[in-house]
Amino acid sequence: MSDKVIYVKNLVKKFGNFTANDNLSFEVYAGEIFGFLGANGAGKTTAIRILSGLSKPTSGEVNIAGFDAYRETEKIKKNIGYMCQKFSLYEDLTVRENIILYGGIYGMTKSLIRERLSELLAKLRFQEYENRMISALPLGLRQKLAFSVAVLHEPKIVFLDEPTGGVDPITRRQFWESIYETASRGITVFVTTHYMDEAEYCDRISIMNEGKIVALDTPEKLKKQYDADSIEEVFIKIARP
Amino acid sequence: MKRFLGFVKKEFLHIFRDYRTLIILFGIPAAQILIFGYAVSTDLKNAGVAILDLSHDEITLRLTDKLMSSGFFKRTETLLNYSDIDQVFKKGNTKAVIIFEDDFGKNLVNENVAHLSIIADGSEPNIATLVTNYATAIVNDFTVEFAGPQLINIVRISPEVKMFYNPNLKSHFMFVPGVVTLILILICALMTSVTITREKEFGTMEVLLVSPLRPVQIILGKVMPYFLLSFLNVLLILALSWLVFGLPVKGSLLLLLVECMLYILMSLTLGILISTVSDNMQQAIFISLIGLMLPTVLLSGFIFPIENMPKIYDYVSSILPPRYFIVIIKNIMIKGTGIMYIWKETLILIIMTFIFVGLSVRNFKIRLE
């Protein structure tokens, strides 16, 4: 677990006079499930945008999958996967077409895409859906598929921005199973969530408040430290002192 | 490059899967041209004509007879004085009034010159043009018959053509350039702004931005299919207008196509700009339709001549790209002029394209931050 895939030191991001990220420092290791928590407006989205190479930090050191976030954003992009709350799949394309599209965007060869496609369909028991439009699939299946597509090119890190928003508990449960499975293959999972019970599934979590990281540890240690029964309590104690 | 091609292919799939897009892309232009085509059909049959014969001699009767037996005209009424003209037009079934001056026959025999007036109902410009053209042709025919070949240069019946209600009558051919101008900017700007905001709204834009595709590739990939399809559209419109009402391109077809490409490109960049300032598809559609269609129809010189506008509208219309393209396309299609006469307008379109690209890039960067 000593292999650092995300290394952030003294990261600052300012918009004019407003400091969205104030001196963030943390590390994430290969194969880890890292929970990134915080209230709306705490600066999570800004941080994720920097980590995924979408925007540049104002100052501080940021290294993602071995690449520098100032100069090597193109290389970072090739080594990460991304899935957001809204579906990242095209509803008017079939399962197969979506996979071919994303595989192509990430520069995978045709034969590799075809191989992964059949693997994926078999694993998810999706064969019968191969040529169906995404719009014809139930929500839970779409979500699973979106996640599989986000890790199709075997990235080093996958960023999940509130992936389970608006999904029923059973589907969320299943979704977390695929997250575990992915992490066990050595892919780092960086996930933001609103659901505090989900935070308990993470290896380590960080909690942001007003642009700063105010807590960072394993769920168990945080609960002990704040004398709380659940992460939800920890969160409330931190956010509303 | 391979990444990019896959992305372009996906955009085509979007277009061909959505029949509404296809209808807007090809159905509407075809319908517009056909509607205009049939509305200005060059067949003239039994158009209502009233006669005001102040001379009432043998020659005016012969000429009237010739007009009525041509099959193009049908006499609706015989008027007795000028004051009846307004009345007869208001009834609607009379498209023109033909007036023979006092002593028409006598003048023609004695002085070799006679005058008649053709007054047409200018509220229906296309029919008015046809009626007056046909009537003039028949009168000229009659002159030749009457005078015989030897005297053709001496004997003259001079028809004076006047329009009622719409003195600055524009030729119906003006509609095709106008329709091309309107359709291209609408479709290009509307389609691109909608297709880009759609990605934003569905959240796929974020995924694309995080992917190794560069922003330029994303935008180009989204716009390229529309560029190709719009160009196809131009060919379709030109072919239809040629087939339906035989409107030829008088100038260089190559120049016309190049100018169309420039105009399409300009419209696409305008669409990109619209997409950078709108958050969802409704906004994009609203800006494209209200912000582009109305000004284009009203202020670009498509229907109403800019020369007749108050100065303030003239200024407003000078920032509208269609105003310049209408000049370009009219010059090439109808007058057959070359680049020498339209380079200024062309240059303005090029500059506008660059301005739109610049503004889009700036907005896009602000959004990314």
Q: What is the ipTM of this complex?
A: 0.83
Same domain, B187 and B300: yes
Tell me the mean pLDDT in the region A80-106. Answer: 87
Whether B19 and B69 share a structural domain: no
Reported in sequence order, the residue ranges of B149-283 that DSSP labels E, i.e. its strands, are 156-164
Do B285 and B158 belong together in one domain?
no
The pTM (predicted TM-score) of the whole model is 0.73
Quick one: B26 and B62 in the same domain? Answer: no
Interface test with A, best of B19, B22, B201, B211 (most A CBs within 10 A): B211
Q: Could you tell me how many CB contacts below 8 A there are between chain A and chain B?
A: 75
Which of B96, B134, B101 minimizes the C-alpha distance to B115?
B101
Question: For chain A, which residues lie within 8 Å of any Cβ of chain B, measuring from their own Cβ?
Answer: 15, 52-55, 74, 77-78, 80, 82-93, 97, 100-102, 104-107, 159
Q: pLDDT per residue over B320-352, tens digit each? A: 899 899 889 888 887 778 888 889 999 999 999
Q: Are A90 and B10 in contact (CB < 8 Å)?
A: yes
What is the domain range of residue B190?
A: 2-39+172-368
For residue B365, what is the nearest residue in chain A, using CA coordinates?
A55
pLDDT, residue B169, reads 45
pLDDT above 90 covers a percentage of chain B that reads: 14
- Give the model's pLDDT for residue A236: 84
Res. A187: pLDDT tops 90: yes
Name the nearest CA neighbour of B156 among B113, B99, B116: B113
Statement: residue B165 has pLDDT above 70: no
Same domain flag for B29 and B112: no
In sequence order, what DSSP letters do the residues of B71-114 get, joined into one string?
SSEEEEEEESSTTHHHHHHHHSS--EEEEEPTTHHHHHHHHSEE
Using a CB-CB distance cutoff of 8 angstroms, which residues of chain B are in contact with residue A102?
211
| CB-CB under 8 Å, B369 with A87 | no
CB contact under 8 A, A104 and B209: no
pLDDT band at A38 (very low <50, low <70, confident <90, very high): confident
pLDDT given for residue A2 in this prediction: 53
pLDDT score for B135: 87
Nearest to A164 by CA among A182, A151, A155, A177: A177
Assign B245 a pLDDT band (cuts: 50, 70, 90): low
**Residue B2 to residue A104, Cβ atoms within 8 A:** yes
- The reply to whether B300 and B203 lie within a common domain is yes
Q: Mutate one of A105, A114, A156 to test the B interface: name it (highest B CB count within 10 A).
A: A105
**Measured between CA atoms, how close is A196 to chain B, in angstroms?**
24
Q: How buried is A79 (Cβ within 10 angstroms: 0-12 exposed, 13-18 middle, 19+ buried)?
A: buried
Domain end, chosen from B136, B164, B192, is at B164
Question: Does B123 lie in the same domain as B100?
Answer: yes
B368 touches chain A (CB under 8 A): yes
What does the alpha-carbon distance between residue B176 and residue B144 come to, in Å, rounded to a whole number?
Answer: 36
pLDDT average, residue stretch A165-172 = 80
Verify that B16 and B70 share a domain, yes or no.
Answer: no
Domain count, chain B: 2
Residue B172 has what DSSP assignment? G
**Mean per-residue pLDDT over chain A, rounded:** 87
The shortest C-alpha distance from A141 to chain B (Å) reads 17
Domain ranges of chain A: 32-53+73-239
Of B128, B143, B164, which residue sits at a domain end? B164
Last residue of a domain, one of B164, B190, B223: B164
Residues B153 and B73 in one domain: yes
Contact B210 A55 (CB under 8 A): no
Homologous superfamily of domain range A32-53+73-239: P-loop containing nucleotide triphosphate hydrolases (3.40.50.300)
Query: Do B329 and B254 reside in the same domain of the chain?
Result: yes
User: The dihedral of CA B126, B132, B135, B139: what is its sign?
Assistant: negative
pLDDT of residue B168: 47
